[in-house]
Structure 1
């Protein structure tokens, strides 16, 4: 039961975060006419704030001492605000749609959303080693969490175009926020904290140790490049379907479905290759395969060829 409660939190986080990250650009640039230059500027500020506030809120959470524990107060406040700001990003009233107001509404909205997203993600992640102590228990919890995460990916990325094509982006946000709220409602009562688990390092010392670790820079750089490529594909797919392929908005679902339907069984393929070639070589091969497959997206002119290329991308996804 504890594992299921924790995994339900992952579902709520993934559903909201992936629908936000994948379709934010399409909504503001395509539907509302926001300047692409201002969108890029605001997202750059967003990224820098994200880089700063992750360790900041992690440090503050570690130092929190209340009768409710350390993580629970942050989550009780953070989850409702996280969902509220998610809704506000997709609920743009008429007075905020003018060219003079929209850029500022967008910038303030995404910064507020990102702040609460960090609060919730940071405290949710910090609970994992406190709630699950043994290796076998952690393995089981991680597998279940990965399952709900994949379900969140499918709903928040692949199913979303079918939803907003029928009920609009605000309708999509209301539906996903409601589903996420139910998931969090199941997760929060199951929180179990270890009062003895407390970091002895200060914020400055933690930064010093991390930044002095060469392995951190290698992994961070590779992760950055991979996430950049993945984000470009995810964010650009709705534009690609509409402008390159001339398809209706709902057709984006079929492109993402091809990716995920192939990605799921491909996990077993890469698991076998990791056993035969070693984890590092298999990891590199997966990145290379996905990158080469993504280049083929330039070729299709209709839905079926694009679905086939999407399936190839899914092998390395």
Structure 2
């Protein structure tokens, strides 16, 4: 009774395949795109990634709170996968689009589109990760489901890493800006199809126990009081891995010591 059908496991895996079209594409190629094609400096790109990664740690928590309180006829988590798919595809294309702006406006555009992409990814991926826990109460089935998920993630990442440069060259025909944009149109369309498959093919069978005592507003208020304890370790870790020098290392060690 608790066994998850094979088609449903494959359908769930398609969600992580789609997510990795964004994750692997953004992480592996966006920095190179920003500096070599889009036209912003490496320092500006590094600061952009730093700011966005810090905010991402907070938005993940907030999205988890929102998803836990979602109640629809389709379940708690599946609707977010469907609702976020077009926005994820849209910002994926926008991030790899090069507008005819001056340097300042280009940087503003990069911030807006990259923050939009990470927010859309958070809205999609946090509920997607939680979905596995409500598809079956059986630990063995969830372990098998996790294996399918990682296989899907590997397939999505392999598709991007293996074909993106060739697709950029093919579609761009010497114009990398055009090549990146058209390639992302293709990946965005595939992403939306994969997310729809996940939504349609999966089912939420387990009703989570309600463990929250406060409403969303009160929990968000409590979160703001604890933001320094969330942001400081994220900031220290990010600075250390971005810069890898003595000062960032000392700051990282200091913050980690204070948190223990």
User: When the two structures are superposed, what TM-score results if normalisation uses the length of structure 2?
Assistant: 0.74
Residue of structure 1 equivalent to 2:256: none
Q: 3-state DSSP class of the match of 1:61?
A: helix
| 1:228-243 pair list within 5 angstroms | 228=241
- Separation in structure 2 between the aligned mates of residue 139 and residue 42 of structure 1, nearest angstrom: 37
Higher relative contact order (CA 8 A, sep 6+): 2
Per-residue CA deviation, residues 219-259 of structure 1 (Å, 9 max, x unaligned), is: x99xx69xx59xx9xxxxxxxxxxxxxxxxxxxxxxxxxxx
Residue of structure 2 equivalent to 1:102: 106
Residue of structure 1 equivalent to 2:17: 11
| 1:56-205 pair list within 5 angstroms | 56-94=62-100, 97-167=101-171, 168-194=179-205, 196-201=207-212, 203=219
The 1:119/1:68 distance shift into structure 2, 3 A limit, reads same
Greater mean deviation of Cα atoms: 114-123 or 34-43: 34-43
Q: 3-state DSSP class of the match of 2:104?
A: coil
In the TM superposition, residue 135 of structure 1 has moved relative to its aligned partner by: 2.4
Contact 2:21/2:187, CA 8 A, preserved across alignment: yes
Q: 3-state DSSP class of the match of 1:101?
A: helix
- Separation in structure 2 between the aligned mates of residue 65 and residue 196 of structure 1, nearest angstrom: 11
Residue of structure 1 equivalent to 2:175: none
- Separation in structure 2 between the aligned mates of residue 17 and residue 101 of structure 1, nearest angstrom: 25
In the TM superposition, residue 180 of structure 1 has moved relative to its aligned partner by: 1.5
Q: 3-state DSSP class of the match of 1:100?
A: helix
- Separation in structure 2 between the aligned mates of residue 79 and residue 198 of structure 1, nearest angstrom: 28
- Separation in structure 2 between the aligned mates of residue 42 and residue 170 of structure 1, nearest angstrom: 20
Count matched residues. 215
In the TM superposition, residue 195 of structure 1 has moved relative to its aligned partner by: 6.0
Match of 1:28 among 24, 27, 34: 34
Per-residue CA deviation, residues 280-305 of structure 1 (Å, 9 max, x unaligned), is: xxxxxxxxxxxxxxxxxxxxxxxxxx
Contact 2:78/2:131, CA 8 A, preserved across alignment: no
The 1:45/1:198 distance shift into structure 2, 3 A limit, reads farther
Per-residue CA deviation, residues 57-113 of structure 1 (Å, 9 max, x unaligned), is: 00111012233322233222211111111111112332xx32131000000110111
Contact 1:7/1:145, CA 8 A, preserved across alignment: yes
Q: 3-state DSSP class of the match of 2:103?
A: coil
Contact 1:132/1:141, CA 8 A, preserved across alignment: no
> Gaps spanning 5+ residues in structure 2: where?
1-6, 172-178, 224-232, 245-260
Contact 2:136/2:206, CA 8 A, preserved across alignment: no
Moved over 4 A (4+): none
- Separation in structure 1 between the aligned mates of residue 76 and residue 198 of structure 2, nearest angstrom: 16
